[in-house]
Every structure is written in C-alpha cells, then in structure tokens.
Amino acid sequence: MTLIDYLLEHKEINTNRLKSAMHYISHNFEQSEDFFTAYFITGKHNAELIRYLSGEWPGFASAAISSQHGAEQIAYILKFVEAEYVCENMNTENLLTNYLSEKGHHVLASDLPLPDNYNVLKRLNVRFHDLLSLEKNHALLEFVHKECLYIITVENVHYVLQAFTDAKDVGNIKAEKANYTSILAVGSEQLKKYIEENLAYYLEEVFLSLPDNSEESETAIKILLNQEKLKSDHKTKIISKQNYIFENFEGIPENLWFHLLQKEKVAISWKNISEYLGYKDNDKSVVTSLLGRQNVIDTLSKLEFSITELGKDNSSILSYFIIQNDELKNTDYCQLIKCLPYSYTNFPKLISEEKQVCLARERKVRLTEDSFRFLEKNNQLVAILISKNFDTYQKDKKKYPIDDDIRELLLSSKINNKDKLTVCLDVTPNGAVENKHLSLLVANFLLSNEVDCSQFDDTVLSSAIINAQTSSDSIQLLMKCLLTWDEKKTMEVLAELPEPFSEISSYGKRPKIDKNQINLKFARLLKTKGFISSLREGKNSLKINTFKSSIHA
C-alpha cells in the first residue's frame, strides 16, 4: 500500500511502474481484492488509484460487479471517475447500468461514499427496480423521481404516489382500485409525464395487472380510450376490466362501441342501441346477441321507445332491425316487439311463423291487402290478423275474402260480441252443415246474446240447434226461432235431436219429457203455436200429444 501511495504521489516519474501495477491488478483481480479492502481504509490516494486503474483498465467496473466487494468498488468508481468516461468506456454491454438498476441500493443507499452528483445515473440510463430500497438516501430518491429513473412497476408507482403527493391529498389515493385516476388526480407532474410517455408499458405492468383496479373514473377511462398511442387490444382490455358503465357513447371512439355494447359497459337503452346501429361500421351480430340476454330484454321492456328521443331515422332502423331478425329466439322476439311504436303494412319475409303470430297479435303488422295476401294460405294467422284489425276488415270485407274455416277461428278468438255477430251472420249454409264445431260456436253465441234470429239463414240456425252442446241448449235456441218458424221447419229440426225430443216431430206419438222450466216453456210454446195436439203437465214429466197426421185443424 505504501508503494502504491509512493507511485501515485510521484506518478510523473513512475508512469511505467504504475502501468505495470495496474496491469497486474487487472490480470489478478480476484487475488487483489484484499489489497483494495485494506487500501480503501489506510491508503492516502483512493481517488487517484480508482481514476488511474479505470483509465488503464476500463473493464474494472465489469469485474467489480462480480467481485466480493463490488458495491464498494462501484461506489468509488462513481465518486472519483468522470461520468463521461464511466458511461462511454466502463459500461460494456450495459453491465454497470443493469447492476445499478437492480442492486444500486447497495452502492447508493448505504454507508459507502456517494458521487458528487447523480447525473451519472441519468447518463447511464439507470432504471431502479425497487424505489423502497433507496429510502435511506432521500436526496437520491428526489433525483430519481425528478428524472424518472425507475422501472414502472406496481410497487414503484405506489411508492411515488405515496412519497411525492401532498400530505393533504394522500387520503385520495386509491392505488389498488383506481390507479390511473389517482395518478391523474394527485400524482406529481413527473409521474404523470413518465406514465404518459410509457403508457402502453404502464397498462401492461400496472393498470391491467392489479387485480382490483376496476374502479377508474369516467374521465380517466376516456383519456385512455382516446390515446392514439394505445392499440385497440389495450383499449378493449381497459373496458372489460372496469366496472364503470357509460351513460352513452359520447367521447368514446366509434371503433370501441362494439366492445362497450358486448360487455354491457354502456347503459342498456333504446337510444344507445339505435345509435350503434346508425354507426356505419356497426356489427349487427353484437346487437342480436345483446337482445338475446334476458337482463337486457327486461331492462328495455321498462323503457319507452321514443321516436323523439331516438330520432326518426335511428328509431326506424332499430325497429325494423328487430322485426325482421329471425336470429332472435321467438320468446325474446315477442317480448321486444311489444315495445316498438311502429306498425307495418306487411310481414318480413324470412321470419318464423311464431314471430309472424307475435306481430299479428301485437298489431305490429296491420291488415292490408299485402299482409292478407302474404298469409292467405295460413288460416290461423289470417284469423289473428283480422281479429286484431276487425274494423278494417269489416269496412271492406271484399278485399279480404275468407272461408268458414277462418270464421270458425274468429268465433273461437276473443273478439267482442258485436264482431262475433258479424262473423256469425257471414257463416254459409254449407259451412254450417259440414262443420259441426262451427255450428256449435254459432249456437253458443246465440244462446249468450240477445240476437234477432230472423237475421240468420235458416240452415245456419238449424245446424246451430242440432249441434248445440246439450239438448237443453238446443231447446233454448229452438225457442228463439219458433217466433218466426213454421211447423214444418220446426219439426225438421226436432227430428234431428235426440229422443225424446225427436219423437215430437212424428205424428201419432205421445213422447214424455222431463219437467223443468225450459222444457215447460218450450212445450207450452209448441201448444200455443199449434204444433202439437195437447199437453199434459204431470208432477215430474210433461206428456206431449202430437197430431195424428199432418192434416189437422
């Protein structure tokens, strides 16, 4: 050590000897470590030794990194060797930069000598891995923060937020749940700028990696979604991760609307869905998918579909998108169309029959010549369409010719009695005779309503009486007709009824029928009309005497 002191004190005349000593150290570095340890304690010229050795051997720093006392040796290099020389000659393959970035706290946040300033760290492009490890050196932390000489990690960002935020604002930091919002709200200007310059890296390493970072503010999310430097993949991940649901698409790039709807991160409303469909590059499949979710249907069913709010064009596009959409489940479709304010003159061509039924029942398709022709081979649908538009049908029945099979369906529907009367009056004699169920429906209508039977064709009335539900119904209905019918017509109908009523139509018979209020009234009416010879009223039965022949007074 004394020799080295001497050589350094008189280096002008001992140049060759100094070079030889440095050459020996560089080639026997491991064996020389004890010398360094001792010299740093007792030597007189530490600075000169480090500068001279570094000048003669630029690989000194690289060797020191791997040595037992590397931190101490690196500390002396940083303190005594010019920064420019260190950066340009002693940082082979960035070994010194990497060492300081990872283990710099052993050098700079310990009891070792510190450099006169920290600009060398900036020139070396050091990025400290762990800011907490530098806490013993507040001046260093200030410099590292100011110059952003640290890796963007969850821990480092949280440390900067806590350490470099005004004390009054620390309580507003929500680093785990609203990281970017916290940075924007209370982060230092240096932190904001650093994150802005490395936004994609920040997103991957911090924003998206924090498991609970899902409560970012609307403002923070919109700032990120409008960053041109971020890829679409990053932006869709941001949307998916956040709990926030936007009221509308305002301030959000159109190419992200698809993802907002798909993930239900925009309020479910008729207006938002219609606005998306009005977007020229829309993907209709996402709307179809959305309209197939029960929670979405339930929400929309409670909201008004307002043409004024949506705009005429958008509301029209959305409405027609729904009614012609056969990809929707039938049950979902039927629930959705109830909300639509429009009605149409015809059915969409390529939808299921069940959807057509829904459109007719909900009056979303009106009775027109077009819609009537569209359904002309489907009696069930024609009947539904007419039943929901009966006034239109009645005003011009010639435009909408129907047969007795459809009349049967109409009488089975829930149209009002006034309209049922119209249908009954249009039942044809052939239809009544051939279709027992149709005649039964006519009978039921006539029995439950005060109707002038003289308006009806006699054949239709006869079939109704014959095909009524019970004999009692038949007799009640027949009594309505007796006011205008002659004996011949009456007997023809009675002949078709079950015994004992059919026996009344035969001459020379004495049929006995149960005595009840209806039968008693009927028998007395027959007697009053002169259609029977006599009537004997017993306690429990009625004995009817018919004429002996068709010729009677």
Cα 199 from Cα 212, distance rounded (Å): 19
Please list the rounded mean pLDDT of every run of 10 residues in the chain (553 residues). 56 62 66 62 66 83 87 92 94 96 95 92 97 96 97 97 87 93 96 97 97 97 96 96 97 96 97 95 95 96 96 95 97 96 95 96 97 94 97 95 96 95 97 97 94 92 96 94 91 94 90 93 93 90 86 61
| Whether the bond into 500 is cis, omega within 30 of 0 | yes
Angle between helices 379-388 and 404-412 (to 10 degrees): 60
- With beta carbons less than 8 A apart as the criterion, state whether 340 and 322 touch: yes
In terms of Cβ atoms closer than 10 Å to its own Cβ (0-12, 13-18, 19+), residue 253 is middle
Classify each residue of 359-395 as buried b or exposed e, where b means 16 or more C-beta atoms within 10 Å of its C-beta.
Answer: bbbeebbbbbeebbebbeeeeebbbbbbbbbbebbee
CA distance 74 to 62: 9
Half-sphere exposure of 83 (CA within 13 A, CB side): 11
Is 0.85 surpassed by the pTM of this model?
Answer: no
Apex 188 CA angle, 184 and 193, nearest 5: 70
Q: Which amino acid is at 102?
A: E
Report the phi/psi class of residue 514: left, alpha or beta, with left for phi > 0 and alpha for psi in -120 to 50: beta
Specify the pLDDT at position 54.
82
Helix (H) or strand (E) holding 185: helix 179-186
- Residue 252 exposure: Cα atoms within 13 Å on the Cβ side: 29
pLDDT at residue 196, as a whole number: 97
pLDDT at 39 (0 to 100):
62
Quote the DSSP letter at residue 547: P
| Distance (Å, whole) CA 320 – CA 278 | 13
